[in-house]
Chain A
Amino acid sequence: MSDPLIEMRGIVKTYPGVRALDGVDFTLHHGEVHALVGENGAGKSTLIRILTGAERRDAGRVLLEGSPIEPHTPVQAQRLGIATVYQEVNLVPDLSVAENIMLGREPRKAWGAIDRRAMDRRAEQVASGLGLHVDVTQPLRSCSIAVQQMVAVARAVDQKARALVLDEPTSSLDAGETEQLFALVRRLRGQGLGIVFITHFLEQVYEISDRITILRGGRCVGTHVADDLPRLALVSLMLGKAAEAAATRERGAGEVAPTAPRRLEARGLWRRGAVGPLDLTLRAGEVLGFAGLLGSGRSETVRLLFGVDVRSGGSLVINNRPIARHSPRRAIAAGMALAPEDRRAAGLVPELSVRENIMLAFQGARGWARRLGGREQNALAAKFVQALSISTPDLEKPVGQLSGGNQQKVILARWLLMEPGILLLDEPTRGIDIGAKQQIESLVDDLRAKGMAIIFISGELEEVVRVSQRIVVLRDRRAVAELTGADRHVHTVMQHIAGETGGKHV
């Protein structure tokens, strides 16, 4: 055991325009669970894709027990003993559990036919050896996700895997299932396997891992023994700000009168495997910020509010009217607008012009029979291009050629044209430059002052604190705190995200 199981040194990976990994080091020992954490774009998945052969590195070395390896495909990596279990289980749902464990290595009779009985027996042994007791002849699709993941682990173990990468395995598991999976992980650790564990859930990081490596912006910002790293320190390493950083509250300082009309009210709103139950109230003229790590349930909540996803339970009242069967169509009719995280998914059509993209929802709402004339369209589009200071040479430029920040503003313009009473903004400032960011922030403040009710999500805590009057902190798909007034402070928010306050838990 002189050499570590896996050693990655100075890994560099560049995509067009982005340096995804910039000289990252990562070491995995035998018999350890090593958590890999970081926010969106930190480079976790790129690092894992390089390790498992799904991606080629531009520079750096990967050593497996001291000898350099160069896996070009996931299959080659598996042959070397590096197996991956993905969040969306990569198995064949229609074949039996036994076949999924044994596919490609089925025991065969002398004349080449698969010996199904021997296969089932062997699979049964492998599974029960891992504490997984299931009927191996049943189709995989009839098993729970947790069992499916454990079957994937069983397949890897039977293929003599020495290193196991678990890529967000617990995202769709409930607490009991997670515990089941962790028991298996501990058993494998005891057998000397090295396990890389990727998750957004800090609780789980501390529950299962021996060491933690934090990535941020394509760099490794530290590897620590889990017991020696306080949660707050972990969160600040992930978010890249010293936990003591003072909060600035330039905007949004004003309290909202509790008499302001309630635009949106949710009680016990939840969705299985996604978020909640949570209570929310959003009043006219306020910005409600959602703070939390990636995967904490921020986007999921907004999707529920807008009716993109169907809720599993709870009630929702919009403009004092209870909504029974929700849908985006209904949300729009009730005066809501959502600018989702992913600009492509937001319906920005890159080939269409700025004007056409801005007019899309408005024209859609009017119906095609009442088409707006060219002059009216131009006037409206021009008004918003000016109001949001979208920098484009003319209204007819294809949106795909604008910068990210300007694209985001085009989406905002599209929804503002609808004059919504409730605006849901999911990461409106992600991936755009500082100047555009400030413009969007001040725009949000202006809209609020005019009486709009806004939900604002951002991965940057400072921004949430700056923009919002109230902040809901989400952790592990639950609202854990609601901060108002002087409590709206980056440090406080971080403490709640890290789960280090003994104080009020919702």
Chain B
Amino acid sequence: MTAALRRNWPLLGTALVLVVLYAAASLAFPGFASLYQFAHLFDDNATLGLAAVGMTFVILSGGIDLSVGAVIALASMVLALLMKDGGWSIWAAVPAVLAMGAALGACMGAIIHVFRLPPFLVTLAGMFLARGAALLLTPDKRIEMSSKAEIESLSSVLIQNFNLPAMVFLAAVALAWAALRFTRFGRTVYAIGSDESAARLMGLPTASTRIGIYAISALCATAGGIVQVIGTGAGDASAALLLELDAIAAVVIGGTVLAGGRGSVIGTLLGVLILAIITAIPSYHGTLNSWWTKIAIGLLLLVFVLLQRLSQRWAAGKT
């Protein structure tokens, strides 16, 4: 039991931070602790959450995906364009946009794998391409949906207090958890992140797995873009700027090691919630400058990476 405890301590640390943060905010701000507000944390951060779920796969494999924010913007633009100008039904447009996103990610994954290029550079190129494409789609850089009827009918799907975006986010977390834990693909993700050449020597399918990882990341980002359109009723080419960095922060605060191989999507869920609470606090506190949220996130991130390093040193010193 203590062994299991020791193994999962980064996750427990994240959970502890979350509980303390939530309790403190609830005590300080009346109304914060309501179920309605809790549900809103998920809803307001569904796009970030989806991006972070996809980013978890990438970081577990030892990679990084900088294209996430741009893919979200591109997906929101394409979806709005298809439905407004193309007259597509939402049931046709959403799968088409998801397929586009997945294909984009798969391309980046294939380039990374085949040419042995650093993910940082390939996804940086992907970021510029996707953002550029999103900005080129219309001169206004924003597409307002004139008939929001369909969108509204979708977004009013309520189960208790949870809106559709929150449902999509939580479903993605559940799917990702199962995929990482109970499929060969998921275990190969960990194996690649832990020691890629060993994974290859063990006969694991590194190529298809790597392509799948970046496809999933882009797919999640695309879903995030769709959720954003549902929430705002518009496609926005400048949406989600630098959101990939928030996603990386959420994943790392969630206990996933940036070098790959260790971590979990549950941790990412907790990490997203921590960021959500920190960013929500200024709206409750009338006078607090909202830039303090950046300071808080920065400090938290620093503490977590330092703890990760110290635990590695401790483990290395032991053997």
Is residue A116 contacting chain B, with contact meaning CB distance below 8 A? yes
User: Known: A139-B7, A142-B315. Is A92-B183 also a contact (CB below 8 A)?
Assistant: no
- Give the distance to chain A from B312, nearest Cβ to Cβ, in Å: 9
How many chain A residues have a CB neighbour from B under 8 Å? 28
Q: Which residue of B lies closest to A89 (CB)?
A: B198
- Give the distance to chain B from A263, nearest Cβ to Cβ, in Å: 34
Point out the residue from A94, A114, A138 that lies within 8 Å of B190, measured CB to CB. Answer: A94
- Please state if B183 and A90 are interface contacts (CB–CB under 8 Å): no
Q: Which of B3, B190, B194, B199 has the most CB of A within 10 A?
A: B194
Point out the residue from B184, B194, B203 that lies within 8 Å of A95, measured CB to CB. Answer: B194
Point out the residue from A75, A142, A145 that lies within 8 Å of B203, measured CB to CB. Answer: A75
- Please state if B182 and A116 are interface contacts (CB–CB under 8 Å): yes
Q: Which residue of B lies closest to A109 (CB)?
A: B182
- Please state if B261 and A94 are interface contacts (CB–CB under 8 Å): yes
Residues of A within 8 A of B197 (CB): 90
Q: Which of A75, A92, A104 has the most CB of B within 10 A?
A: A92
- Give the distance to chain A from B313, nearest Cβ to Cβ, in Å: 13
Is residue B80 contacting chain A, with contact meaning CB distance below 8 A? no
- Give the distance to chain B from A161, nearest Cβ to Cβ, in Å: 13
- Please state if A144 and B191 are interface contacts (CB–CB under 8 Å): no
Residues of A within 8 A of B182 (CB): 113-114, 116
- Please state if A92 and B201 are interface contacts (CB–CB under 8 Å): no
- Please state if B319 and A91 are interface contacts (CB–CB under 8 Å): no
- Please state if A106 and B190 are interface contacts (CB–CB under 8 Å): no
Is residue A199 contacting chain B, with contact meaning CB distance below 8 A? no
- Give the distance to chain A from B20, nearest Cβ to Cβ, in Å: 28
User: Which chain A residues in 84-123 approach chain B with CB under 8 Å?
Assistant: 89-95, 99, 103-104, 106, 108, 112-114, 116
User: Known: A113-B182, A139-B7, A144-B319. Is A95-B204 also a contact (CB below 8 A)?
Assistant: no
Is residue B195 contacting chain A, with contact meaning CB distance below 8 A? yes
Q: Which residue of A lies closest to B204 (CB)?
A: A104
- Please state if B202 and A103 are interface contacts (CB–CB under 8 Å): yes
Is residue A135 contacting chain B, with contact meaning CB distance below 8 A? yes
Is residue B193 contacting chain A, with contact meaning CB distance below 8 A? yes
Is residue B40 contacting chain A, with contact meaning CB distance below 8 A? no
Distance in angstroms between the alpha carbons of A95 and B203 in the assembled complex: 16
Distance in angstroms between the alpha carbons of A506 and B183 in the assembled complex: 57
- Please state if A92 and B190 are interface contacts (CB–CB under 8 Å): yes
Residues of B within 8 A of A94 (CB): 190, 193-194, 261-262
Residues of B within 8 A of A139 (CB): 7
User: Known: A104-B184, A113-B182. Is A90-B319 also a contact (CB below 8 A)?
Assistant: no
Distance in angstroms between the alpha carbons of A135 and B4 in the assembled complex: 12
- Give the distance to chain B from A74, nearest Cβ to Cβ, in Å: 5
User: Which chain B residues in 280-319 approach chain A with CB under 8 Å?
Assistant: 315, 319
Distance in angstroms between the alpha carbons of A142 and B317 in the assembled complex: 11
- Please state if B315 and A91 are interface contacts (CB–CB under 8 Å): no
Residues of B within 8 A of A406 (CB): none
Residues of A within 8 A of B319 (CB): 141-145
- Give the distance to chain A from B2, nearest Cβ to Cβ, in Å: 12
- Please state if B203 and A92 are interface contacts (CB–CB under 8 Å): no
Residues of B within 8 A of A408 (CB): none
Distance in angstroms between the alpha carbons of A90 and B199 in the assembled complex: 8
- Please state if B261 and A90 are interface contacts (CB–CB under 8 Å): no
Residues of A within 8 A of B193 (CB): 94
Point out the residue from A106, A138, A141, A142 that lies within 8 Å of B187, measured CB to CB. Answer: A106
- Give the distance to chain A from B193, nearest Cβ to Cβ, in Å: 7
Distance in angstroms between the alpha carbons of A145 and B191 in the assembled complex: 18
Is residue B178 contacting chain A, with contact meaning CB distance below 8 A? yes
- Please state if B187 and A114 are interface contacts (CB–CB under 8 Å): yes
- Give the distance to chain A from B221, nearest Cβ to Cβ, in Å: 26
Residues of A within 8 A of B315 (CB): 141-142
Is residue A78 contacting chain B, with contact meaning CB distance below 8 A? yes
* Interface bits B1-29 vs A (CB < 8 Å: 1, else 0): 00100010000000000000000000000
30 inter-chain pairs at a CB distance below 8 angstroms, sorted by A residue, are A74-B201, A75-B202, A75-B203, A78-B203, A89-B198, A90-B195, A90-B197, A91-B202, A92-B191, A92-B195, A92-B198, A92-B261, A93-B194, A93-B195, A94-B190, A94-B193, A94-B261, A99-B187, A103-B202, A104-B202, A106-B184, A106-B187, A112-B183, A114-B181, A138-B3, A141-B315, A141-B319, A143-B319, A145-B319, A155-B202
Question: 6 more A-B contacts (CB under 8 A) besides A92-B191, A92-B202?
Answer: A75-B201, A89-B198, A91-B202, A113-B183, A138-B3, A144-B319
Please name the 7 residue pairs, one residue from A and one from B, whose CB atoms are nearest each other, closest first.
Answer: A94-B261, A94-B194, A113-B182, A75-B203, A92-B194, A90-B198, A92-B191
